[in-house]
Every structure is written in structure tokens, then in C-alpha cells.
Chain A
Amino acid sequence: MKKIYLHPLPVRVWHWINAIGFIILILTGVQIRFVDQVGLMSFETAVQIHSWLGFILLANYFIWFVYYIFTGKFFKIYIPPFWKPVEFIKICIRQAKYYAYGIMIGDENPHHPVPENKFNPLQQISYLFIMAVLIPVQIITGLMLWDPQLFGSVVSLIGGIQVATLIHTALWIFFSAFIIVHFYLATLGVTPMTHIKAMFTGYEDELKHIIQEKKGGEEI
């Protein structure tokens, strides 16, 4: 079976740290915000875990950042071909059509991941937005709430601590929904475990081999 090396080790390490971190951050976020309704842990513990993990994910973000920027892969993988906007929009629509309709009737995924183009256009645009904008914003607003005095000048720059809280909470809401959808989408490989396995091993089975192997088999 032919396998493609999609996820290099630094990316896998970053991904799984990020994944666990995200889940715990969301949960401790719930605990902090709903201290009277949720009893997972005390407010102090939740804040401590939240702060520790915030910094771990900050460091983790740099693994991702350094790897993708220094290998130059960031530009290849994350930047959509904005110089061909019409074509890009077309393939976006094609990808959306696939998830909404094609997948139902057994169409082949129009996107075939290869190391230099592993994201489908919808992934590309959302991951670029998440990695280049939302996560940095979440980190910065997180830092503001972590020590409003130390980051006082940035706080006042964005319009006060209320605004920082508003942004941080809004992104927490977004990421909570995102992570559920992200997990579901991860199961939409050729088999439910294709993408997930690949995120552990780095290798993803090429589509046609799987299809050949699974001849006659059902796939949902």
C-alpha cells in the first residue's frame, strides 16, 4: 500500500499537544465562567490549570510557527492561491458541495492530500484564519487576562479589559464549537480512522489503495 508522509513529527507533536490543551482549556474555561454551576474543580485550580496550559500552548504555537515558517511550508500549505481567486472560489464551492452532497452519493473527495498541498481549500482558508489570526488573538487576550497590569498598555490599546474579555470569551465559544466539528471532520477520511491514524503516524494511505482493499465493503 502506498502511503503519503503528510504530517512530519513536529507537526504531529504540536497537533496533539494543542488538541489536549484546547480541550482542557475549554473545560477549565467552563469551570472559571460557571464556577457556581460546574463543580469539576475549584476556581483557583481551574485558573491555575488554565494559566499553565495557556503558556504551554503559547510555547507550542512557536513549535508550529518555527517549523512552518523556517521550512517555508507555511506559504505552500496555508496560503490559498489568492492570485487565482476565481479558481480558488470554484474549488471551495466544489469542496463544500462534496461535504454537503457528494459525500452522500458516494462521490470521491475532490481534494487529494499531498505533503505540499495537504489541506482542501476550506481547510486551508479556515486553518490560515485560525493559526494566523484567532490563536494569536486568543493568546494575546489570554495574556491580558492573565496579568492585566503587566499587559496594561496592550489592554488599553484594544479598548479596555472588557474588550479583551469579550474577545477571549467569543473565541472560546468559537473554539468550543470548532473542536467538535473538527473532530467529526477528522473522521471523514476514507475510513473514520484514516486521518486520525495519520495524525499519529504521519502517513496517510493513498485513497485508491484503500478503495481497492475495501472493494465490496461499506463505508459511511
Chain B
Amino acid sequence: MRGITISSLVIFCFLFSYFLPIKDAVSDDTKSCLRCHSVKTLSKQLENKESLSLYIDGSKFEKSVHGAMDCSSCHTDISLKNHPKPKKIASKKAYAKEVSQNCLQCHPQDSLMKPEVHGKIVKKNEIFCSECHGSHYITSMKDWKKKAGFSTYCMTCHQHAITKTLPGKEKLSLKVNESEIKKSVHGKFECIVCHSDFSKINHPIYNYKTKAQYRTEMTQICTKCHKDQDLQKNPAHYALTKTASCIECHGYHGVKPAKVAKSLPESQYCLNCHSRAISMKMKNGETMSVQVKEEDLLNSTHKKLKCTDCHKEFSTTQHPMRTFDSIADYRAKSKEVCNNCHKEEVLKYDKSIHAMAFKKGNAQSPDCLKCHGYHKVSWITPDKSARNELCVKCHTREGDAFSSSVHNLALKQGKKDAPVCSSCHNSHDVMPTNIANLNASCLRCHKDIKTSHNKWLWNPPVRLTTFVDTHFNSTSCASCHTQTNKAVYLTVVDRAKKKVLTEDEIAKIFGVNSNEVKGKIDFNGDGKIQEQELWQFMSSLKAKTHANLAGRIDVLDPNDAHKIEPKSKTVKDCAVCHSSGAQLSGKIEINKEGTKAVKFDFERTALNSVYAIPDIKDFYVLGLTKIKILDILFFIAVLGGIAVPVGHITLRILTAPIRRKRREGK
């Protein structure tokens, strides 16, 4: 059917062509072709559904540089004899590639390679002769160059998807969207206004290594008109020009007028620049990204807030220039942004070990931003395990220990009241473990625990919960609820003020630097505290304060406190601590402001000595602080007690004859 249609069309064209005016100048061969191809509606549908016009304007063709040539000169595969025949063409591009091969018959590749830029295009094989030069109406290059406007001239090639591959394998598109330029603030400019080193006879080649370098270099073009003094009118924008290229924010050719942006919704206005990969430089040379991802904002708990709700000093008209010493300095100050709304949390955080460590310059220590993110402030997840993961990111060892605990088991089983890290350590006011009173955290969930302990932990004849308190106040829950090594921690306190003496305070008493306190207690430097050392250290302290040692039993390795065992495995044997054979280590603990305490090991004899009594007034456990000399005194007393009657009886036996004689009146 298709064959009949095509045949009919050819016969019709052939007959109809006799009525059409055919140019005399063209060859007979061409005339024959034009009989059909001068029909304006003649077209062909390609395989990709594009429509390819087969119409040839004879008069225009006649005027072209190829006007005197036969059609078959180029269309070598088509003649009247073997035409029509169904020719399969995939697309216009494919056809352009195919027919452009014919150009090479007369225009040898060598000559095409001579102009360097042209040569590169030919070599790359991305666009083909017919796409730039056209097909049937090619005029003299010299004439065309003269007549064509600059933009038309450039766009001849640059309208096509040509690219340049940079040494780093980055591909730089050289295609220019003409309509985008027309709509831009530079719509009336010819290309050479900006690209002034280009002309119809000069096409320099840039050898940029990266896109970034290209952007930076291209930005120089902008500064030809947009001088430094103009840019300085807006300090924030001026600062940006020093860190980012114009192109990154404004684009290449579709430069929008700045006034349009101001009318945008506020957040959009800010994002105009901040959605891009811009960064700011700190005084110490650190670079911090100030890019804000819109999707982060939209997914955050702050999605209904405007940028200026937090960044109060900024607006569409105000962009103060701020400088920071370092990223840490920026983070410390950015806490104030959170403080606008989250006052209570910030106040709590300020007391925390995290805040103190951060202040001391530990960049790894968390602040608001480290946990909550900058703009991606997430919702508090109901997934408790996920909540723990935040802490475990830094506290991996603790996370591992916790994973073996009965608490983690409860968490896995999805129990509603299973604890997360913050259940015990708090979320914002995370304190050093030795002063955090973690037992109170246990009691928050295990409410009836005093009563249940009191079922077995009591001293007859009266079942008093105060006896439980005695243990709760001086023993960490973890000491009995984990199967780990235990220690007695003796902390230096001011007994009168009922407060812990920190390393700094102790240093002040001794009139030394904080790092010299170690030498004041362990003055023989053997890493252990002996009787003499303890006595001397405490005596010096007591001369100026009411220093004393407060004691508590805790796990030896603080991390073991995470390994809470099920009830069946807890320690209920009193002798674990209340016996001289108890495996308790002794440690002296000197608190440090906002960080972990410094600990030294005790020589056991230091705590068994009678000299220890005035230094450890408020703590006593048989397992460690039993005064040994009293045991010796006990044996001496018992022996002495026995010696009295034995001695007396002996004397009485020896003196019996005297009494007998006396009775007998001798």
C-alpha cells in the first residue's frame, strides 16, 4: 500500500512539475529533482517521528555556492533511476551526520582542520557540517561573515550542544541559550560586549583546567562593568565576590535583575545566594560552607520559620558583615540564635560537660549545631534506638557497652519505658558522671525501687528505708547491677561548704598551676598514692580549707555502668563490699571544671591506716577503709584479758603456801 502511495505521489509530482517554473541556471539533473522537490509540502516522517522537509527552493539553491552542482554530486546514492526508494532515516541528527560526510568529498578534512576552533569541532564529531552551515543554501563564507550580526555569527555554532572536555574530565557545555540571554539584563548585548577578545576573525582558545577556574576567570569579564566601588555599596555582596565567582550566583548568560529577587518571599530571597555552594572564610583560614539546602529547611522542624526569625540581624535590605576567629568561634556564637527561643535548653547546655569541653577548645564536643544540625533541625524521633545513635556517633565505646545491657534488650523489644542515653545523662545538661548523681536517674524510672530493695536490704529489727538510702547515697546502682570490678572513689570535698573541690581550687590552695596538682599528691611520682602522700596532701589542704574525702562505691571502669544486668544477675552478697577481702580498688578523684575528674590509685595500706581516719570522715566500708591497727589491738586486748586471770591465778597458786601457813597460825 505504501509503495502504491509513494509511486502515485512521484507520478503526480512528475506530471505537475511541467506547470512549475524551473530555473534555467540549474543543471538538468537538478531540474529533474526539483520537479518533485519544489513542492513545498513534500516531507518525510523519520523513525523518531521528526518531520524532515524535502522541499528545495530552487532560486535560493541557484544563488548558493553549490548552485551549479548536480544534486547527485552530494546525494551520491540518489538518482532518478534508483529514486524513489524507501530510505530509512533515524533522525534529523543522524541524517545531518550522514549527509555531512558528502561535504568531505570536496572539502578535505585537512583543510577543515586548519582553523583551530573549527578543527576541534570537526574532530569532536558532536555537530556536523550541515548543522552550522546549512544544506542547500550555503552562501560564500566571506559574504556571510560580513553580513551576519555578531550574535548570529557566534550562535551559528554555540546554539548547538557543543562541549569542551577539561583536563580533569569535567565537561563544560558551550551551548548558549539565546532566548535566555534575551530575557536577561544583558538581553541587548552582542556576545562580544562581554567576550571582547572574540571576533569574527579571532576565536581564542582557553585552556582552563577546571570548571572552578573557568568560573573564576570568566568572572573577570563582569568586573569590566561592575567595578569594585559599585560592589562595595553592598558589603555582604562585596565580601561574597571575594569568595565566590559572579557566575555561581548569577549564572552565565541568564543574569536576572537583582531587583526581581527582592520581591521574592524572604526565604527564597536568601536562598538566591545561599542555595549555592558559597562559603565564608574565618580569620584562622578555615572555610565554612554557608550553603543552605532548601530541602533541609523544608524537612526540618523549623520549616515554618523565615530565615530572619533566627538570623535576626539579616533582612532583604540588611546583610551585616560578620567575621569570626574560627568555625568554633562561629559555633559558640551561633548558640545565641537558638537561645532566642530555646532559652531553657541553652541554659542547661551551658552547665554541661559538653559546653565546658567546647569552651576549652574541643572542637569535637557537641554544641546545638553538632547534634541538631544547622538548618536540618530534625524532629525528635519516636525511634528510641535512632536517638541513641546520635550520642553513639562519638561515644562508640559506651554504645557497645550499652548494647549488652538489659536496657538495650528492652529497647529492642520496643518497650515503651526503655531508656535512651538522655534518660540517664539528660539531653542538654549532661554532667560529668562523678557529679551527675546518676542514681537519681535510675530512680526516675524505677520509682518503687526503695521499697523493693527494702524487702531484703534492711537491718533488723526495724525495716527502714533510710538503710536503703545509706546504700543509695554511697553506692552507684551500677556497682551491684553489673558484674564488673568495683572501686571506692574518694573525692576531695570541702566538708564545711559541702561542695567538691576542683583541681583549679586545689591548685589555688597550693599556689601552683592546675597541672602541678598531680605532683602535690603523688609526689614520689609512682602513680600510686601512699599513706604518707595522702597524709601530707590532705594536711596541706586542711590547713586552709575544711578539705576531706567523700567516698562512693562505683564501677572501676565508668563505661561498665552501661552494662546493667537483668535482676537475676545482680549482686546481693553484702560481703562483696563488706569484707576485708573485697576486691575493691581505691581511687582518689579530683574534679575538674567541666571535664572528667583526674583519678589516682590508692595503695590499700593508705586507707587502712589510722592516719586515714581524719581524712575520710564520712565514708566507711569494711572492704577498703577498715583500720587495720584496731584488729591488732583487739587481739592484744583479748590476750591481755586472758593474761590477767592466768597471771593472777598463777600468783595465787604460788602464794598458796603463805596463806596456808597464815591460817594455821604459823
Say which residue of A47, A104, A162 sits within 8 Å of B620 (CB atoms): A162
- What are the residues of chain A within 8 A of B578 when measuring CB–CB? 32, 35, 43
- What are the residues of chain A within 8 A of B634 when measuring CB–CB? 30, 33, 169, 172-173, 176
B617 touching A160 by the CB < 8 A rule? yes
A166 touching B630 by the CB < 8 A rule? yes
B467 touching A161 by the CB < 8 A rule? no
Q: Mark A118-149, 1 if CB is under 8 A from B, else 0.
A: 00000000000000000000000000001111
Q: How far is the CB of B308 from chain A (nearest CB, A)?
A: 56
Q: Which residue of A lies closest to B625 (CB)?
A: A162
Bound: A150/B462 CA distance, A: 12
Number of A-B contacts (CB under 8 A): 128
Interface of B is mostly: helix
A179 within 8 A of B: yes
A146 touching B618 by the CB < 8 A rule? no
A220 touching B470 by the CB < 8 A rule? no
> Which one, B117-125, B407-415, B646-654, is touching chain A?
B646-654
Q: How far is the CB of B437 from chain A (nearest CB, A)?
A: 16
B652 touching A177 by the CB < 8 A rule? no
B645 within 8 A of A: yes
Say which residue of B469, B622, B627, B645 sits within 8 Å of A181 (CB atoms): B645
Q: Which residue of B lies closest to A219 (CB)?
A: B659
Bound: A48/B575 CA distance, A: 14
A104 touching B631 by the CB < 8 A rule? no
Within 8 A of A (CB), among B621-636: 622, 625-627, 630-631, 633-634
B115 within 8 A of A: no
A201 within 8 A of B: no
Q: How far is the CB of A176 from chain B (nearest CB, A)?
A: 5
Within 8 A of B (CB), among A32-60: 32-36, 42-44, 47-48, 51-52, 55
A93 within 8 A of B: no
Within 8 A of B (CB), among A83-136: 99, 103-106
Q: Assuming A35-B622, A178-B641, is B574 touching A43 (CB within 8 A)?
A: yes
Q: Assuming A146-B459, A177-B640, is B617 touching A34 (CB within 8 A)?
A: no
Q: Which residue of B lies closest to A49 (CB)?
A: B460
A147 touching B652 by the CB < 8 A rule? no
Within 8 A of A (CB), among B597-618: 613, 616-618
- What are the residues of chain A within 8 A of B141 when measuring CB–CB? none
A218 within 8 A of B: yes
Bound: A147/B457 CA distance, A: 11
- What are the residues of chain B within 8 A of A30 when measuring CB–CB? 634
Q: Assuming A55-B461, A181-B645, is B580 touching A34 (CB within 8 A)?
A: yes
- What are the residues of chain A within 8 A of B580 when measuring CB–CB? 34-36
B473 within 8 A of A: yes
- What are the residues of chain B within 8 A of A32 when measuring CB–CB? 578, 622
B638 within 8 A of A: yes
A218 touching B656 by the CB < 8 A rule? yes
Q: Which residue of A lies closest to B644 (CB)?
A: A181
Bound: A180/B640 CA distance, A: 9
Q: Which residue of B lies closest to A105 (CB)?
A: B658
- What are the residues of chain A within 8 A of B649 when measuring CB–CB? 220
Q: List 21 A-B contacts (CB under 8 A).
A: A30-B634, A32-B578, A34-B631, A35-B579, A42-B575, A43-B574, A43-B575, A52-B460, A52-B461, A106-B662, A106-B663, A149-B467, A162-B616, A165-B627, A166-B627, A170-B630, A176-B634, A176-B638, A180-B644, A184-B648, A220-B649
Residues of chain A having any CB pair with chain B under 8 Å: 30, 32-36, 42-44, 47-48, 51-52, 55, 99, 103-106, 146-150, 156, 159-163, 165-166, 169-170, 172-174, 176-181, 183-184, 218-220
Beyond A150-B464, A160-B618, A218-B656, 4 extra complex contacts between A and B, CB < 8 Å? A33-B622, A35-B579, A106-B663, A150-B467
Q: Which 9 A-B pairs have the closest CB atoms?
A: A160-B617, A180-B641, A184-B645, A106-B659, A177-B641, A104-B655, A177-B637, A149-B466, A36-B581
